[in-house]
Amino acid sequence: MEEFFVSYAVICDDDEIEREARDLVLEQTVEVPESLITDPDIRERVVGRVDAIAPAGDRRWQVRAAYRTALACGQIPQLLNLLYGNISIKKHIRLESVDWPASLLDRFPGPNWGVDGLRRRLGVYDRPLLATAIKPRGASNQQFAAIAGAFALAGGDLIKDDHNLADCDLEAFRARVGLCQEAVDRANARTGRATIYAPNLSVPIEQLERRLDVLVRLGVGGVMIAPYILGLDALRGIAARYPFVLIAHPTFSGAYYRGAEHGIAPELAIGDLMRICGADISIFPHHGGRFALTPDECRGIGAALRRPLGRMRPAFPAPAGGMKLDRVASMAETYGLDTVFLVGGALLSHDGGVAAGATAFLDAIRAHFGERLETPQTDLPGACDLDGEPTRADAAEHLPFDPTAHAWAARPAVAYKASAELPFQGVARHELIGMHGEKTDFHLRYFEVAPGGFTSLERHHHTHTVIAVRGRGLLIQGDERRPLAPLDIAYIPPMAVHQLRNETDEPFGFFCIVDARRDRPIAP
Amino acid sequence: MEEFFVSYAVICDDDEIEREARDLVLEQTVEVPESLITDPDIRERVVGRVDAIAPAGDRRWQVRAAYRTALACGQIPQLLNLLYGNISIKKHIRLESVDWPASLLDRFPGPNWGVDGLRRRLGVYDRPLLATAIKPRGASNQQFAAIAGAFALAGGDLIKDDHNLADCDLEAFRARVGLCQEAVDRANARTGRATIYAPNLSVPIEQLERRLDVLVRLGVGGVMIAPYILGLDALRGIAARYPFVLIAHPTFSGAYYRGAEHGIAPELAIGDLMRICGADISIFPHHGGRFALTPDECRGIGAALRRPLGRMRPAFPAPAGGMKLDRVASMAETYGLDTVFLVGGALLSHDGGVAAGATAFLDAIRAHFGERLETPQTDLPGACDLDGEPTRADAAEHLPFDPTAHAWAARPAVAYKASAELPFQGVARHELIGMHGEKTDFHLRYFEVAPGGFTSLERHHHTHTVIAVRGRGLLIQGDERRPLAPLDIAYIPPMAVHQLRNETDEPFGFFCIVDARRDRPIAP
């Protein structure tokens, strides 16, 4: 059974390290004294193993523990328990690094967009991205929207809420976020760019889904969350079900990595763990600012977010905290191209205002890197979801089926093109109800997949409800293959990777019902 | 506007403390330099205030900050942001204490049961409670159930899972927890007592509600969660919606309170905050065990959980970690009557087994305190205490059609009564998608109308989309009669008077899709 290796720094005397190391792996796996483990099977399958102990200076040791990968259950809460659960309460044990096994990484999709996906959405290449924060708390919604709009007009890439911005109820949230998104939309319409706005989502757990739904409907592109407040698994859960660009904020996390003798190395706490949980961007305090990470720690975080890690997309480091114009050069050298520079106060306090400040920062960035702009790719039409233009207001009240043609005369198949990213083949789509002036909150479509054909392999926040009616097909969903026969019904939940295939010699036809207001599909 | 006071320990030189204190309150409220706050209203309503600075030893200072209570929004995530958000990343700032204002405390109900409520449920008075943990991970479900049953039979009060016990899926969870609860139920039936079992709920966020739902159905009395893994607000959210006795486990929390110069004082981190978020019991490492809290810190945690705090019920401290029989006396002196003694390894390793171990510990406790037993009162808190959100957790992903029964096994026909105003006849309805937790803006239903049957003649604002699939029917719409054959589609627009009839000798079946949010039908 597969093991993986986890390294800890431990401080103790020479004659204690053997026992300390042994106690550590027992605590993290069975939490009982060794003498109580009489079952050889538990000893083999469960109890952690001390793989190596190496001296690392005065009373300092590096302990390499080996844990069975299965103990993490492929779940973030249990993984955190295993890596640094009860031993977090012991003195002088610091979690230093993890050799992530591929089988564990494969359980977590990681960033939905990552560096390449975010660049495609923005159409910005060859330079770091520029982000700002809407602040200060207490300003009016109009003032916030003005900052967002000015920054977007000046060509800034990302706008996030200050992490202290909180809205006490859903309506206040909708009003504030709606105004900011409108300002960004207006700016984007003028510039032809695709600046993304990411509101803060530090809200009570019961309100998470409702607020996320509001954001989907407002057409917001990003979300910022604080994983050490809401839980790292909340970040993963949002990435698994929503198509937002996810920004992780480090508030409340500092206790984990402010000490050399205790806690979790920052490249793990706000590097690997943020990325594994799905952050496209991880914010952390730059060493030149008002927080006290070291240059090495900052470089380590940047490296962790972008290094090869299973099949996981690289994420952007976003150094922040006291960014100033004269630091752009040194930050560019520290972090390199695939970085988000997050500038807050320095923009707001710029003599010429936010727009002039953004321009100045962008100029400084371009001076180091150049810039290549392409058309932002906000749409990735897949087979399921390219909207046929509702040109005709011919709401149907009766669509008689023609069994000979196996079709509805008033709703011929719609022709559409696949994108390179979301290829499909042999798919005909009939837009039956909802796209021609019928008053519904859903769209009813009929798809027919020719022998050997398939829809795009894709995922999206909106769900599909499928009713098979002709021939036999196959629903690929994650690792599962589900056969579909006439009148079988399938529900495809949010963000589930899916594809419908026809591996028979006869046409495979199915109805598919989707919410009328829905997000665009993205590649798996 | 009300302020409340928060005390921090800060380490810095004499000539720095004024600026450090000022930076602290700015960081926690507006996160911009003071010069940028030009609006007097923001200065008044939002910016934190340094209320007092007092020397506290060599380079140590106590800074008392004053924050507007409204800034916390009455929400845990925002409260954590305000108390120790970004400054958690600064060196040498430790959150020491909070003078909780009543208006803030009133926003959080705190423990549902607390000390008195839990004693009533157990019928155990005048002595500390005895709890154990089911372990080690890797043992069989039968072995776990045997431990639970033996402990309950011996008169132990509470049984919790080891926090490493994880079940990789819902069925494994149901099987394991079900077996343990059955063992406890059998023991309770024999003893007449009401020993409570609390399974571990360290699960991915999407599974929380489903697992809680399983626990409700299994009749489980308690739940253990790890608030520093799942988020403190997850604890509060569960307390707000479920009637379980809630046990908070400190795994992954140690980084917050293992240093004197950084982090959060333990009486806050695992005292006040756990109680405010609804823990009835907060587990923490006893100073005599294998973890390294000091006696003063342990006493502080115990005091924080039980002292007067608004209208909040007192909670039980549960000192744990290396409990031994010979420590009962000293623990009794440290923590007093309203304490849960959590004994793990010492029970499992007792020469006479779990039952004899439990008896020995209970005898030792009784020797110090005596014991008064009354009939357990297992009644739940009043209906008003529970938010009553219906948890519908059986979202379907695949509903295979059974051609023989012409039905879907997981979605049997729903019986319903017609009103006198809207009579119908011979109609069976299957609620397929949208009414069982699937995330859709529509509902997919299947109706079958028996020979001679008909739906009500009615009208409503919401529209119907009908797909005929079995037999032949008739749509009456206004003055029109439209025949419906398989795969014919009908759209019934707003307020159109309509009825579906079967005038043949065979069943007539059709799908009907409606908006999830819809108005009630009215008579024509």
Kindly give the interhelix angle for B328-335 and B353-369, rounded to the nearest 10 degrees. 50
- Provide the shortest C-alpha distance from residue B374 to chain A (in Å): 34
Residue B37 tokens read as 């706050």
| Bigger pLDDT: A273 vs A259 | A273
Residue A417 has a pLDDT of 61
Tens-digit pLDDT profile for residues B342-357: 998 888 888 889 999 9
DSSP letters, A451-478, are EEEE---BB-SS-EEEEEEES-EEEEET
HSE-CB of B336 using CA atoms within 13 angstroms: 12
Q: Judge: A440–B515 Cβ closer than 8 Å, yes or no.
A: yes
Neighboring chain A residues of B433 at a CB cutoff of 8 Å:
465, 489, 491, 513
Pairing, β B340-343 against β B129-134 = parallel
What is the pLDDT confidence band of residue A151, given thresholds at 50, 70 and 90?
Answer: very high
| Bigger pLDDT: A98 vs A431 | A98
Domain made up of A122-373: CATH architecture: Alpha-Beta Barrel (3.20)
Nearest to A441 among B85, B291, B515 (CB): B515
Tens-digit pLDDT profile for residues A337-368: 999 999 988 888 888 899 999 999 999 999 99
- Provide the shortest C-alpha distance from residue B325 to chain A (in Å): 16
Task: Quote the CA–CA distance of A249 and B19 in Å, as a whole number.
Answer: 25
Q: Reduced to 3 states, what is the DSSP secondary structure of residue A271?
A: helix
| Bigger pLDDT: A433 vs A22 | A22
Residues B268-280, mean pLDDT to the nearest whole number: 97
Tens-digit pLDDT profile for residues B169-202: 888 999 999 999 999 999 999 999 999 999 999 8
Residue B73 tokens read as 């929004």
Instruction: Point out which residues pair with A342 in neighbouring strands.
Output: A131
Residues A454-481, mean pLDDT to the nearest whole number: 90
Q: How many other C-beta atoms are found inside a 10 Å radius of the C-beta of residue A54?
A: 10
Per-residue pLDDT at B235 exceeds 60: yes
Fold of B3-105: Alpha-Beta Plaits (3.30.70)
Per-residue pLDDT at A74 exceeds 60: yes
Per-residue pLDDT at B10 exceeds 70: yes
Residues in chain A: 524
- Provide the shortest C-alpha distance from residue A204 to chain B (in Å): 6
Characterize A356-382 residue by residue with b for buried, 16 or more Cβ atoms within 10 angstroms of its Cβ, and e for exposed: ebbbbbbebbeeebeeeeeebeeebbb
Mutation test of the interface with chain B: which of A82, A489, A518, choosing the one with the most B Cβ atoms within 10 A?
A489
Residue A518 has a pLDDT of 79
What is the pLDDT confidence band of residue A450, given thresholds at 50, 70 and 90?
Answer: very high
| Bigger pLDDT: B377 vs A249 | A249
Q: Residue ranges per domain, chain A?
A: 3-105, 122-373, 401-515
DSSP letters, B136-155, are -TTS-HHHHHHHHHHHHHTT
DSSP H helical segments within A253-294, as ranges? 266-267, 273-276
Active site residue B512: yes
B174-183, B211-220, B271-280, range with the lowest pLDDT: B211-220
Per-residue pLDDT at A79 exceeds 50: yes
Q: Judge: A90–B477 Cβ closer than 8 Å, yes or no.
A: no
CA torsion B109-B385-B193-B173 (nearest 10°) is -90
| Bigger pLDDT: B495 vs B316 | B316
Residue B469 tokens read as 């699939």
Domain made up of B114-368: CATH architecture: Alpha-Beta Barrel (3.20)
Mutation test of the interface with chain A: which of B12, B441, B460, B480, choosing the one with the most A Cβ atoms within 10 A?
B441
- CA neighbor of B512 nearest in space, from B461, B433, B462, B444: B444
Q: Judge: A441–B442 Cβ closer than 8 Å, yes or no.
A: yes
Cβ atoms of B358 and B132 within 8 Å: the answer is yes
Mutation test of the interface with chain A: which of B132, B209, B241, B489, choosing the one with the most A Cβ atoms within 10 A?
B489
> In chain A, which residue's Cα lies nearest the Cα of B492?
A397
Task: Quote the CA–CA distance of B46 and B34 in Å, as a whole number.
Answer: 12
Residue A511 tokens read as 């109805």
- Provide the shortest C-alpha distance from residue A126 to chain B (in Å): 30
Cβ atoms of B181 and B197 within 8 Å: the answer is yes
Q: Judge: B397–A240 Cβ closer than 8 Å, yes or no.
A: no
Count H helices, E strands: chain A? 16, 26
Residues A468-491, mean pLDDT to the nearest whole number: 92
Residue B395 has a pLDDT of 67
Neighboring chain B residues of A432 at a CB cutoff of 8 Å:
489
Residue B276 tokens read as 């405010």
Highest mean pLDDT among A36-45, A142-151, B435-444: A142-151
Per-residue pLDDT at A38 exceeds 90: no
Mutation test of the interface with chain A: which of B24, B41, B297, B398, choosing the one with the most A Cβ atoms within 10 A?
B398
What is the pLDDT confidence band of residue A91, given thresholds at 50, 70 and 90?
Answer: confident
Task: Quote the CA–CA distance of B328 and B309 in Å, as a whole number.
Answer: 28
Neighboring chain A residues of B262 at a CB cutoff of 8 Å:
254-255, 258-259
Task: Quote the CA–CA distance of A97 and B323 in Å, as a whole number.
Answer: 32
Residues A301-320, mean pLDDT to the nearest whole number: 95
Q: Judge: A345–B36 Cβ closer than 8 Å, yes or no.
A: yes
Q: Judge: B255–A256 Cβ closer than 8 Å, yes or no.
A: yes
Tell me the three-class secondary structure of A45-88, residue by residue.
Answer: HCCCEEEEEEECCCCEEEEEEEEEHHHHCCCHHHHHHHHHCHHH
Catalytic hit among B180, B277, B298, B512: B512
Tens-digit pLDDT profile for residues B120-160: 999 999 999 999 999 999 999 999 999 999 999 999 999 99
Residues A376-394, mean pLDDT to the nearest whole number: 49
Neighboring chain A residues of B263 at a CB cutoff of 8 Å:
255, 258
- Provide the shortest C-alpha distance from residue A399 to chain B (in Å): 5
Residue A396 has a pLDDT of 67
| Bigger pLDDT: A417 vs B138 | B138
Does the domain formed by B401-515 have CATH 2.60.120.10? yes
HSE-CB of B14 using CA atoms within 13 angstroms: 2
Residue B299: partners with Cβ closer than 8 Å, 6 or more residues away: B334, B335
Q: What is the mean pLDDT of chain A?
A: 90
Cβ atoms of A205 and A165 within 8 Å: the answer is no
Neighboring chain B residues of A396 at a CB cutoff of 8 Å:
489, 491
Residue A499: partners with Cβ closer than 8 Å, 6 or more residues away: A454, A455, A456, A457, A458, A475, A476
Q: Judge: A465–B438 Cβ closer than 8 Å, yes or no.
A: yes
Q: Judge: A345–B32 Cβ closer than 8 Å, yes or no.
A: yes
Tens-digit pLDDT profile for residues B351-385: 889 999 999 999 999 999 989 999 898 544 332 22
| Bigger pLDDT: B271 vs B521 | B271
The structure's pTM equals 0.81
Neighboring chain A residues of B518 at a CB cutoff of 8 Å:
none
- Provide the shortest C-alpha distance from residue B403 to chain A (in Å): 8
Nearest to B491 among A163, A231, A433 (CB): A433
What is the pLDDT confidence band of residue A48, given thresholds at 50, 70 and 90?
Answer: very high
Task: Quote the CA–CA distance of B227 and A231 in Å, as a whole number.
Answer: 8
- Distance from the Cα of residue A310 to its chain's centroid: 16
